[in-house]
Chains A and B, each alone.
Chain A
């Protein structure tokens, strides 16, 4: 369980990034963190594994104050996947890259190798195992960094903008994979600007603006709230927009729909069909 208590943080002590953030994320939740650039999203997730320590307030992971733990210790619990894969890749093959993190965290040679194989297969990049990370495309590099973290099987997985540079198919695959990880009991937290990705894959959304949480609740209700959408410079999910358009013609269609199936059943109903 993750608890943040009135966390304040300012870069260099003068540029405020978080201005009093309190939240609780239970084990096994799936959470999207959304908001404008500079809202403090990345700063927030850096507090989860101790890379940043709050100036004021406290962060607890499983009831333990993070100020008493090292980044390496916290990384065993919270796996962070970064926005820019180039900031961490440095070895001569994808395989070595994945094994590097595992061995740092104390896994034996055999176990590291096995976990590496399994993870690469799960991500569909086993054919890249012997390639140099530097010769891969941006999207592939991103999946390699994801593999590096997934292989350590952290109980909490936090991803910073994982959908950038991924095509629609990869995005759908990533979504499915994160859902599967979540179904197996892990907490999945993702920072994203992608409204559709959030709607499809995450039950809860935390909306941030200007270093504060402006809304926190079920993704569907947060993203259909016009005030939140405006504060966070987002646009509502396409299905919500569709529902609103339908509602203008047929006032009995609810406006807070977010899923294709919901809109579909409304259209079927309007057409006089359905089971």
Chain B
């Protein structure tokens, strides 16, 4: 699952990290929308090559590369499957475009998740008038993913020591072997949820209607610039795609 790393916050300091999560969301959303609007090799490549330098600015290029390597299996599957079974004139070009679209889409959102601290994300939601309880639940969920993973490993160790051979046997046996892992994992999670709830309540969670916040997010000039650029990009992409029509060079395809 190493490709999911690209959606994990990296503790770095960069121009992009310092931007307001809301402006970054507009930008990521724009890039995602653009990658969904086109299914031709050239525009998607242009988009991707515009995003990669931004990843470098966010000091996260290494992590992105690792994730893409983890994604290689899926990419190969998409390529082979579509090249063989797609009913379009140039199936190879089509599958390349599909792959590029997947990568561009992931990269668009990764730029957001790589650079937004979960706390800032929930603060952004709150300032967008999402109820604190919901925003908090979301950031809690994100916070507990690594804990859950750790717990899963501990449980696997414990069951292995009882003679459960996780990587042996036929498919049915392997599915059966998941039960000794999944049941304790659920039980442990419920127990923890209850104790976290108790400790939150004993620290006054939900005690007052109008919660105050230590830090509030602020839109700065750079953020407005990012939003402006994003909207311009989106507008021109929509204009080219739906009114103007793609110029011939953008429609270029492999002869296959």
Q: A residues near B, CB below 8 A?
A: 46, 49, 51, 70-72, 75, 79-80, 82, 84, 86-90, 100-101, 104-105, 134, 148
Contacts of A72 in B (CB 8 A): 160, 163-165
| Of the residues A46, A75, A86, contact of B163 by C-beta under 8 Å | A75
The yes or no answer to B46 lying at the interface (CB within 8 A) is: no
- Measured CB to CB, the closest approach of chain B to A97, in angstroms, equals 9
Closest to A106 in B: B163
The yes or no answer to B56 lying at the interface (CB within 8 A) is: no
Per DSSP, are chain B's interface residues mostly helix, strand or loop, or mixed? helix
A-B complex: 3 closest residue pairs judged by Cβ atoms: A104-B163, A90-B183, A88-B158
B187 touches A86 (CB 8 A): yes
B155 touches A87 (CB 8 A): yes
Docked complex: B136-180 residues within 8 A CB-CB of A: 151, 154-155, 157-165, 179-180
Contacts of B62 in A (CB 8 A): none
A sample of 21 inter-chain contacts (CB < 8 A) reads A70-B165, A71-B165, A72-B163, A75-B160, A75-B162, A75-B163, A82-B158, A82-B161, A86-B187, A86-B191, A87-B151, A87-B158, A88-B159, A89-B184, A89-B187, A90-B180, A90-B183, A90-B187, A100-B180, A101-B163, A148-B162
A87 touches B188 (CB 8 A): yes
A104 touches B154 (CB 8 A): no
Contacts of A89 in B (CB 8 A): 184, 187
| Of the residues B163, B165, B184, contact of A87 by C-beta under 8 Å | B184
For the side of the interface on B, what is the size category? 10 to 19
Contacts of A71 in B (CB 8 A): 160-161, 165
Knowing A86-B187, A88-B184, A90-B184, say if A104 contacts B179 (CB, 8 Å).
no
Contacts of A148 in B (CB 8 A): 162
Contacts of B162 in A (CB 8 A): 75, 88, 100-101, 104, 148
Docked complex: B54-103 residues within 8 A CB-CB of A: none
- Measured CB to CB, the closest approach of chain A to B62, in angstroms, equals 15
- Measured CB to CB, the closest approach of chain A to B173, in angstroms, equals 12
What separation, in Å, do the CA atoms of A84 and B192 have in the docked complex? 13
Contacts of A75 in B (CB 8 A): 160-163
What separation, in Å, do the CA atoms of A223 and B164 have in the docked complex? 38
Contacts of B164 in A (CB 8 A): 72, 104
- Measured CB to CB, the closest approach of chain A to B143, in angstroms, equals 20
- Measured CB to CB, the closest approach of chain A to B166, in angstroms, equals 9
B161 touches A84 (CB 8 A): no
Knowing A84-B154, A87-B155, A90-B179, say if A51 contacts B161 (CB, 8 Å).
yes
